[in-house]
């Protein structure tokens, strides 16, 4: 049995953070029903690296986080479709939305309205800045939050900054944090019998992603500085190897840096304290640059890992996915075929495994409104309304 078997999630979210949170519950057994406007579907359906899929409303951005979900197309501007959603809520455990704060309240679908229908409902709202505060009514995407939070200012090199992350990491972190919050609320409900209101803000998550830097600033006002591919300690950082590739060293603590200098046959470079490392930073960099240029990046990775020194050649995504370790961990699920599309494809599954009843994918991402008839029948409805028939 999976952890969330028997749990129903109404996923009224779009783009990334909200859908990814619901997806995490879905791969752990929850029945996730995705609600989309037939006239304005989730924009992720038309986003991604495959134009043909974008045109078919099955873009790779949507495929990433839509497995194990069922799709119902509802126009929530129509009273009958709002009534259908409310009836669906009576059967649900979790309701997740990520529209502009106040939008669902204006439709009569806010927390107060839906919890009156289902007091055990866990209602989660995802937004850029949260449901309150002076920025509560503002909107943003991942890169805007990176700019707002201070993450961009600390990312890049000394000469080139600010730089945003290559991945929308704040969005994905918000989705993961949201899944954790939903899991905690479900556990709490088992003990109290009461539903919960969850307010998830991307800005809050971004601040938590900088936790140690935040604490440092609050203590002494020191702004985190961009270090690029280097680190305040010389034995942490990227160096050019003989073949021109980069090898990233991770000899972080005192014990590891001593081991590194020993295996490099420069034991006199080892330090007893971090203060000593700081004082000799420039010389250590120069010595390491000279040494690392004597072997290829792959040779250094093999040599250093065999001697328990963290190190890796800097890889492309394709090279990383081809690493047998990824296959061994089961991080990626391969769909032999999909709905409304041709060919096979792969998607991320989960970042952990269970000994039993763990994350798995049982169904491919749905087309828009694919499960209208099925779910409406479960609710006791007959023919679909014209609005839903467009799907």
Per the annotation, the verdict on 14 as an active-site residue is no
Residues 6+ apart with CB under 8 A from 369: 36, 38, 71, 72, 73, 388, 391
Contact 150, 210 (CB under 8 A): yes
Sign of CA dihedral 134, 137, 139, 142: positive
User: Distance between terminal CA atoms of the chain?
Assistant: 34
Which phi and psi angles does 192 have, rounded to 5°? Answer: -110, -25
What angle, 0 to 180 degrees and rounded to 10, lies between the N-to-C axes of helices 169-192 and 142-149?
Answer: 90
* Nearest residue to 118 (alpha-carbon basis) of 79, 149, 155, 92: 92
Contact 314, 238 (CB under 8 A): yes
Instruction: Write down the catalytic residue from 161, 213, 231, 281.
Output: 231
> What's the residue count for the chain?
391
Identify any residues that bridge with 197 across adjacent strands, giving them in sequence order: 123
Catalytically annotated residues: 231
């Amino acid at each position: 049995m999976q952890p969330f078997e028997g749990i129903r999630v109404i996923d009224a979210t779009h783009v990334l953070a909200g859908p990814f949170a619901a997806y995490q519950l879905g791969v752990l057994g929850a029945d996730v029903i995705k609600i989309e406007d037939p006239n304005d579907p989730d924009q992720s359906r038309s986003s991604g690296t495959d134009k043909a899929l974008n045109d078919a409303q099955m873009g790779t951005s949507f495929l990433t986080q839509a497995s194990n979900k069922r799709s119902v197309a509802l126009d929530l501007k129509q009273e009958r479709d709002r009534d259908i959603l409310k009836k669906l809520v009576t059967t649900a455990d979790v309701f997740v939305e990520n529209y502009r704060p106040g939008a669902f309240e204006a439709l009569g679908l806010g927390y107060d309205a839906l919890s009156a229908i289902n007091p055990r409902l866990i209602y989660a709202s995802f937004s850029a800045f949260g449901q309150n505060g002076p920025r509560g009514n503002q909107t943003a995407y991942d890169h805007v939050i990176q700019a707002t939070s201070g993450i961009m200012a600390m990312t890049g090199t000394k000469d080139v900054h600010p730089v945003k992350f290559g991945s929308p990491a704040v969005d994905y972190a918000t989705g993961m944090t949201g899944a954790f919050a939903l899991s905690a609320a479900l556990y709490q409900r088992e003990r109290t019998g009461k539903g919960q209101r969850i307010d998830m803000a991307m800005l809050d998550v971004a601040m938590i992603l900088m936790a140690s830097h935040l604490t440092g600033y609050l203590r002494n006002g020191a702004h985190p500085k961009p270090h690029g591919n280097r680190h305040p300690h010389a034995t942490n950082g990227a160096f050019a190897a003989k073949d021109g590739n980069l090898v990233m060293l991770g000899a972080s603590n005192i014990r590891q840096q001593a081991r590194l200098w020993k295996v490099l046959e420069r034991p006199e470079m080892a330090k007893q304290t971090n203060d000593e490392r700081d004082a000799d930073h420039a010389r250590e960099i120069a010595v390491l640059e000279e040494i690392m240029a004597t072997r290829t990046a792959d040779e250094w990775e093999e040599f250093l890992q065999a001697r328990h020194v963290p190190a890796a050649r800097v890889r492309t995504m394709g090279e990383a996915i081809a690493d047998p370790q990824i296959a061994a961990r089961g991080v990626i699920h391969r769909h032999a075929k999909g709905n409304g599309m041709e060919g096979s494809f792969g998607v991320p599954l989960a970042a952990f495994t269970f000994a039993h009843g763990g994350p798995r994918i049982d169904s491919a991402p749905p087309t828009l409104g694919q499960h209208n008839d099925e779910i409406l029948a479960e609710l006791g409805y007959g023919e679909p309304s014209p609005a839903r028939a467009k799907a």
